[in-house]
Amino acid sequence: MYRIAGFALLILFSCATAGCKSNSAKTSHLIDREDRNRLQQYFEYTPANAILVSGHRGGQEPGFPENSIEGFQNIVKQMPAFFEIDPRLTKDSVIVLMHDATLERTTNGKGKISDYTWDELHSIRLKDFEGKLTEYKIPKLEDVIRWGKENSVVVNLDKKDVPMEMIAALIKKCNAQDYIMLTVHTGAQARFYYDRFPGIMLSAFVRDNKEYEDMAISGVPWKNMIAYIGATIDEKNRDLVEKLHNHGVRCMLSFAPTHDRLKTPAERATAYKKEIALKPDIIESDIPTEVWKAINN
């Protein structure tokens, strides 16, 4: 059985940076790690590593929307986690969180988010995964970064429609490079961020040998990466996993397109436990609380 230590990915960061303060309550499970290489050290693969859990789109729970600060808060009250989140641009170039390019699925609004200004989004409310309307609003990415730093929660920014230059500028503004992660699909994207932030942690797509070679020739050190390798570990990618482990890279599976879609908690738990037996390093899930229970029961 693979039992995650109680502090997992909630790492206590300094909140001394000007402009990145928040009034939100602090979470539990904190560990104080002051050196600037803390994320690289924490995410480094070793055979003794416990499994880490990432909330895809921030995770889903009844009454709490995906990609919302309130949703993140609800999950970290129950378990240690980090969160994959989705930056998108409004009409007036404010970076907000929204997985889809359109509003219908996750809000009571209609149309493209890029057709709205930030001020126009204030009247729109978020829905939970069951489609029930909540009181919660679409958050700015900057506010999420501030919340993450204050509450010691790592957020992993997916690649959507926001230019990388804008993401880099916001990271610099909040001095966030030491506690944030960025999803990159290509070696060129990895190199873009590494050239600007040599200590940045990246979640790299390395699903096959072609993507592995693309990341390898980028010149970005493997210590700066975790690797997303797909939905499972099998004969097709077992050698790839071994190569990544030899570089000290943790390998992440995503259950979002597969086991998370099973109808009942019991069905999902059975499927999760079969994957856990294959010894993944990180599991990304729409339902991180259920994955956490499967790991620990």
Amino acid identity, position 6: G
Q: What percent of the chain has pLDDT over 90?
A: 82
Superfamily of domain 11-86+149-296 in CATH is Phosphatidylinositol (PI) phosphodiesterase (3.20.20.190)
Decide: 197 and 171 in contact? Cβ < 8 Å.
yes
pLDDT for 238 equals 96
- What number of CA atoms fall less than 13 Å from residue 52's CA on the CB side? 24
Cα separation, 250 vs 4, in Å, equals: 15
Q: State the Cα–Cα distance between residues 8 and 177, nearest whole angstrom.
A: 20
Strand partners for 181: 156, 201
User: What angle, rounded to 10 degrees, do the helices at 141-151 and 164-173 form?
Assistant: 40
**256 vs 33, which has greater pLDDT?**
256
pLDDT in tens, 113-124: 999 999 999 999
For the chain, the structural domain boundaries read 11-86+149-296
**Predicted confidence (pLDDT) per residue in 96-110, tens digit:** 999 999 999 999 999
DSSP reduced 3-state for 38: helix
User: If we measure between CA atoms, which residue out of 161, 229, 171, 166 comes closest to residue 200?
Assistant: 171
Mean pLDDT within 176-200 = 95
DSSP 224: G
CB atoms inside a 10 Å sphere around CB 35: 8
Which tokens in the block code for residue 253?
Answer: 């599976």
Residue 150: pLDDT band by 50, 70, 90 thresholds? Answer: confident
pTM score of the predicted model: 0.88
189-241, pLDDT tens digit by residue? 999 999 999 999 999 999 999 999 999 999 999 999 999 999 999 999 999 99
pLDDT in tens, 126-135: 999 999 999 9
Dihedral angle at the C-alpha atoms of 45, 69, 256, 51, nearest 10 degrees?
Answer: 20
